[in-house]
A and B are shown apart, each in its own frame.
Chain A
Amino acid sequence: MVIEGVANEAIGVDVAIVGGGPAGLSTCIELARSSRDLKIVLLESEEELGGLPRSCRLFFGMRDLKRIYTGPAYAKRLGDLARSTRAEIQTEATVLNIKPDEERGRHRLSVASPSGLKAYESRFVVLATGCCEAPLGTRLIPSARPAGIFTTWQLQQMVHLHHLKPGKRALVIGSEDAALSTVMTLQKAKVEIAGMVEEDDELQTYPLVAKALSRFYHFPIFAKTGIKCIRGTDRVEGVELSAGGNDTGFEIECDTVILTGKFRPISQLIDGTEVIKDPRSGGPLVNMKLETSVSGIFAAGNVLRGGDMHDLCALEGRMVARNIVARLLASKEEVGNSVFLRVEEPIRYVVPQRIERPASGGRRGGAVFAQPSVQLSHTLRDCTIEARSGGEKVWEKGFGRLIANHRVVIPIDRFDWRRVDFERGVELRVRG
């Protein structure tokens, strides 16, 4: 029973974590470890903790938990660790909106859950809402919107959580890492794989792994192949493809299409707030402490950039936790000399977007700094990434192969900082 009046009162907490996937859970675990006195609430909208790994069967936990788990085991492990802390864990709790209040230093969150509507007021907010794959409409793939078109996440929920078989014969669209995971899931559900289609010349994942899977499971890989149209009005009947960038079309018969990759952050909570969004990444703009443009609001994991590896998200979660603790301990915040990073295609985005000139040691007042990293929109061979500022080159490095969407760390301590124009920022670009 909700008592009128009282329910409108906000519950005061120190840290509110939005999202219970690898990033959010890791933040929670690390925070609870660092300080017993902190009042922490973690809000997850699904029924269970763990996020995307819950329904993915590849290897998990390598870089954060230092051993290998399956997705569900990893999700369970992180969930158990979080539940063993003193933090308040709420599942089926959806954050409806966040009202930042920098002046008071308390940000307000409205939350809906089966136990009623609640409001929290928190000194720190950690956005860890993750990402989702681009749906059909966003990809501008022509179709009459029949049944049988799923994203990897839908497929994996269907197979691993609901124990259902999506169809008989599926075509996989895209060749990012998620496509490999899709192949494994289809294989498990005994769905025939009609092929994997990539528009670009190069595969957007480890080519050897993709080719090994293709041989092992007997499916063709169509690179440099465009999607003309998904056929079928009620259920998918086939996909019309165009090979080699010309108009020679051919058709693959299938009753299922899996759309993979092209992840985008779930960041609608910051729409219309003072938290600045980076139009390139689609997530909040952050500095090297992973703090957004609003003091006290941090972000970690795939909300920053769409798809990246779960363990890197988890490590970012930990980093945010340490930075919050450092902020609590610091008598006053040190503000470094910061500069904006800008990127241009084929670099999709850089995170963090605001960097500081490195001091010796890399740590300052207990804070840990996230090194900026970029992700490319498509795989490139033999290229150089260079950083320029005010017309001058401040850094460059050559690469043999850069796989799309894999994180490429930019070592800013190697920058020639004397040449950096702090007014005009630093621009990262790829040279042929």
Chain B
Amino acid sequence: MKEFDVAIIGAGIIGSFIARELSRYELRIGLFDKEPFPGVAVTKAGVSLIHSPLMCPPGTLKGKLSMGAPERYKKLAGELDVPFREVDELFVALHESQMANLEALRKRAKEYGLKDCELIGPERVRTLEPHVSEKVKGALYVRGLLAVYPPEWAFALCENAQTNGAELHLREKVTGLSKKEGFGYEVRTERDLFSARFLVNAAGLYADEIAAMLGDGDIELKLTKGTMAILDKSLGHLVRHTIYGTFSGEHSQLVTPTAHGNLMIGLGRFPTPRDKQDTYVTRDKLEEVIRMSQELVPALSEKGIIATFAGIRSENNKAPNGDFYIELSEKAKGVVHAVIGSPGLTAAPAVAELVIKKLQEAGLRLREKKAFQKERKGWFRFAEAPEEARRKVVANDLRYGRLVCRCEAVSEGEIIEAIARGADTLDSVKHVTRAGMGRCQGGYCAMAVLDLLAKERGGQTQVTKKGDRSSMVFGLDPCSARRR
């Protein structure tokens, strides 16, 4: 039975951060996820912003962990070679009655010690964002925040953790956890059995089920669902800031640029999902999101929508007011539950730090690894590379000159590289290369990517969209197969 010092359950942004930060030390680390790729469940399905702590009431853990997040991400972006985009936040008031909210937010900003933050009048708002509604009465302007694409980050963190010795076990759902004699746990997955001295529960929406396996059946999650739509890049120029209208625990009104130059609108009023898999987008929610975004920016049109998705948010019953619950288990020794919610992505670096502190409290000893490699290298990105770099790379390897996805200018070389590094489904390739994320949504390139994947997976029929039960094709076309 393979032994780990720390087994982390969940390779979302939280689990990936923890694995990477723990890989600095002389530890045997195992990171488990049921999905075929890191960061593609709840991590992916959010607004993908590293935002200010202003939505979290002061005094909350999530607020504290959100402070200084952009700086942490920016520093890491250099080490891990992952793209980000700087965006500033505008909390806008469209009615006089909302001006008081802005004042309250400003006070909150002061409590958090945010420096780059000021209340501005309607003229200034319209100068910053010419397309914002004419009704705007004023805004709180917060500078220095980021837009990222979370699966790129989770993947980079996992790769770096692996370079430093951590083991990544994807497509391995944890099905059982049991106490071993003495210290430690047996970790049973769909395929195998492992043992671990310490456990981290970073299972996101399934944190309650993992906790229950350890006897902590009292952790409950309250789920809500947010709907988002991605707009075509040709509309990218309309909005340059993350614009929040009204928001609360029950709804959110938002228009924001994304890390790669699209616009995203969301999230509407949050309904309760049927279950944890209910990421269905419904027509009425979508219409609501469009309507709410048009209130903020009237020029936005549903004609520009190229993709829609929904994500599930969770709050737990252990901490008040939707706060995070990051604690050692009372019943199971050496187990840290990292039960988080929104803003998980923002807080992730600090959450990882806190989890490691808790592990130390539980007796984990950290000895720094001399050979720790803090740098991870991404790969050549045709779309983002300057012309000179393009010339050089294409001259060396012609596959980088063959553009498979024209909407996003993704070359065959990039797709082959992503596949070689472990992206083995159509969606995984899409998440790390952007092939299929443009306006035709894979209309032209999906079949080409499928063929490239087929070479690795042993035939086209083995290629899936997002995991084992999602095959893309049913088999060979009987007529043509005969002819061949």
A92 to B411, CA, bound (A): 11
Which one of B239-247, B249-257, B279-287, B333-341 is at the A interface?
A: B279-287
Q: Check B464 against A116 for contact (C-beta < 8 Å).
A: no
Which one of B58-66, B174-182, B436-444 is at the A interface?
A: B436-444
Say yes or no: A162-B305 contact (C-beta < 8 A), given A92-B402, A146-B465, A233-B277.
no
- B131 to chain A: closest CB distance in Å? 15
Q: Check B441 against A165 for contact (C-beta < 8 Å).
A: no
Q: A181: CB under 8 A from chain B? A: no
- B49 to chain A: closest CB distance in Å? 20
Q: Which residues 389-432 of B have a CB within 8 angstroms of A?
A: 390-392, 394-395, 398-399, 401-403, 406-407, 409, 411, 426
Residues of A within 8 A of B461 (CB): 164
Closest 4 CB pairs of A and B: A135-B441, A147-B465, A163-B480, A137-B307
Contact of A147 among B278, B447, B471, B478 (CB under 8 A): B471
- B404 to chain A: closest CB distance in Å? 9
Q: 1/0 contact trace for A114-137 toward B, CB 8 Å? A: 111100000000000000110111
Say yes or no: A229-B469 contact (C-beta < 8 A), given A1-B395, A158-B447, A162-B460.
no
A/B interface sample: 5 pairs, CB < 8 A: A1-B395, A135-B441, A137-B307, A142-B286, A147-B470
Q: B477: CB under 8 A from chain A? A: yes
A138 to B467, CA, bound (A): 24
- A192 to chain B: closest CB distance in Å? 11
A1 to B395, CA, bound (A): 6
Q: B206: CB under 8 A from chain A? A: no
Q: Check A142 against B478 for contact (C-beta < 8 Å).
A: no
Nearest B residue to A230 via CB reads B280
Q: Check A235 against B471 for contact (C-beta < 8 Å).
A: yes
Residues of A within 8 A of B387 (CB): 110, 117
Q: Check A112 against B401 for contact (C-beta < 8 Å).
A: yes
A74 to B406, CA, bound (A): 25
Contact of A113 among B229, B392, B402, B426 (CB under 8 A): B402
- A394 to chain B: closest CB distance in Å? 30
Q: A96: CB under 8 A from chain B? A: yes
Q: Check A163 against B305 for contact (C-beta < 8 Å).
A: no
Which one of A149-157, A309-317, A371-379 is at the B interface?
A: A149-157
- A99 to chain B: closest CB distance in Å? 13
Q: A209: CB under 8 A from chain B? A: no
Q: Check B399 against A114 for contact (C-beta < 8 Å).
A: yes
Q: Check B474 against A255 for contact (C-beta < 8 Å).
A: yes
Q: B451: CB under 8 A from chain A? A: yes
Q: B359: CB under 8 A from chain A? A: no
Q: B112: CB under 8 A from chain A? A: no
A147 to B453, CA, bound (A): 15
Residues of A within 8 A of B466 (CB): 147, 234
Q: A140: CB under 8 A from chain B? A: yes
Q: Check B403 against A112 for contact (C-beta < 8 Å).
A: yes
Q: B481: CB under 8 A from chain A? A: yes
Residues of B within 8 A of A9 (CB): none
Residues of A within 8 A of B407 (CB): 268
Nearest A residue to B231 via CB reads A137
Contact of A142 among B280, B382, B474 (CB under 8 A): B280
Residues of A within 8 A of B382 (CB): 112
Q: A7: CB under 8 A from chain B? A: yes
A143 to B450, CA, bound (A): 22
Contact of A163 among B279, B443, B476 (CB under 8 A): B476
Q: Which residues 272-321 of A have a CB within 8 angstroms of B?
A: none
Nearest B residue to A255 via CB reads B474
Q: A405: CB under 8 A from chain B? A: no
Give 12 new A-B contacts, CB below 8 A, not counting A137-B307, A165-B475: A7-B391, A96-B409, A116-B394, A117-B391, A147-B426, A147-B464, A154-B442, A168-B474, A233-B277, A234-B466, A266-B406, A271-B234
Q: A208: CB under 8 A from chain B? A: no
Nearest B residue to A270 via CB reads B234
Q: B308: CB under 8 A from chain A? A: yes
Residues of B within 8 A of A45 (CB): 403, 406
Q: Work out how many contacts link A and B, with CB atoms closer than 8 A.
A: 168
Residues of B within 8 A of A132 (CB): 440, 443-444
Q: Check A116 against B391 for contact (C-beta < 8 Å).
A: yes
Chain A interface residue count, CB cutoff 8 Å, equals: 56
Nearest B residue to A133 via CB reads B443
Nearest B residue to A146 via CB reads B470
Q: B472: CB under 8 A from chain A? A: yes
Residues of A within 8 A of B446 (CB): 154
Contact of B472 among A147, A153, A159, A191 (CB under 8 A): A147
Contact of A117 among B401, B450, B472 (CB under 8 A): B401
Q: Check B481 against A163 for contact (C-beta < 8 Å).
A: yes
Q: Check A2 against B395 for contact (C-beta < 8 Å).
A: yes
Say yes or no: A165-B308 contact (C-beta < 8 A), given A132-B443, A133-B443, A136-B441.
no
Q: Check B477 against A144 for contact (C-beta < 8 Å).
A: no
Q: B104: CB under 8 A from chain A? A: no
Say yes or no: A229-B282 contact (C-beta < 8 A), given A117-B391, A137-B308, A159-B477.
yes
Q: Check B451 against A162 for contact (C-beta < 8 Å).
A: yes
Interface residues of B (CB under 8 A from A): 229-230, 233-234, 277-283, 286, 302, 305-310, 382, 387, 390-392, 394-395, 398-399, 401-403, 406-407, 409, 411, 426, 439-444, 446-447, 450-451, 460-461, 464-481, 484
**Interface-centre pick from B302, B308, B411, B450 (highest chain A CB count, 10 A):** B308
Say yes or no: A112-B390 contact (C-beta < 8 A), given A144-B277, A165-B473, A235-B470.
yes
Q: Check A163 against B477 for contact (C-beta < 8 Å).
A: yes
Residues of A within 8 A of B309 (CB): 145
- A415 to chain B: closest CB distance in Å? 31
Interface residues of A (CB under 8 A from B): 1-2, 7, 45, 92, 94, 96, 110, 112-117, 132-133, 135-138, 140, 142-148, 151, 153-154, 157-159, 161-168, 188-191, 228-229, 233-235, 255-256, 266, 268, 271
Residues of B within 8 A of A138 (CB): 305-306, 441
A266 to B281, CA, bound (A): 27
Residues of A within 8 A of B307 (CB): 135-137
Say yes or no: A116-B401 contact (C-beta < 8 A), given A146-B470, A151-B443, A165-B475.
yes
Nearest A residue to B439 via CB reads A268
A163 to B450, CA, bound (A): 13
A17 to B439, CA, bound (A): 23
Contact of A143 among B277, B280, B439, B484 (CB under 8 A): B280
Say yes or no: A140-B401 contact (C-beta < 8 A), given A162-B447, A268-B407.
no
- A176 to chain B: closest CB distance in Å? 16
Residues of A within 8 A of B233 (CB): 268, 271
Residues of A within 8 A of B406 (CB): 45, 94, 266
Nearest B residue to A149 via CB reads B465
A426 to B465, CA, bound (A): 49
- A256 to chain B: closest CB distance in Å? 8
Residues of B within 8 A of A94 (CB): 403, 406, 409
A174 to B178, CA, bound (A): 53
- B164 to chain A: closest CB distance in Å? 33
Contact of B305 among A140, A145, A151, A191 (CB under 8 A): A140
Say yes or no: A135-B306 contact (C-beta < 8 A), given A116-B401, A147-B466, A268-B407.
yes
Residues of B within 8 A of A2 (CB): 391-392, 394-395
- A166 to chain B: closest CB distance in Å? 6
- B43 to chain A: closest CB distance in Å? 16
Residues of A within 8 A of B468 (CB): 234
A266 to B395, CA, bound (A): 28
A118 to B447, CA, bound (A): 27
Nearest B residue to A55 via CB reads B447
- A7 to chain B: closest CB distance in Å? 6
Q: Check B474 against A114 for contact (C-beta < 8 Å).
A: no
Q: Check A268 against B229 for contact (C-beta < 8 Å).
A: no
Residues of B within 8 A of A158 (CB): 447, 473
**Interface-centre pick from B277, B472, B476 (highest chain A CB count, 10 A):** B472
Q: Check A157 against B447 for contact (C-beta < 8 Å).
A: yes
Nearest B residue to A158 via CB reads B447
Q: Check B398 against A115 for contact (C-beta < 8 Å).
A: yes
Q: Check A165 against B234 for contact (C-beta < 8 Å).
A: no
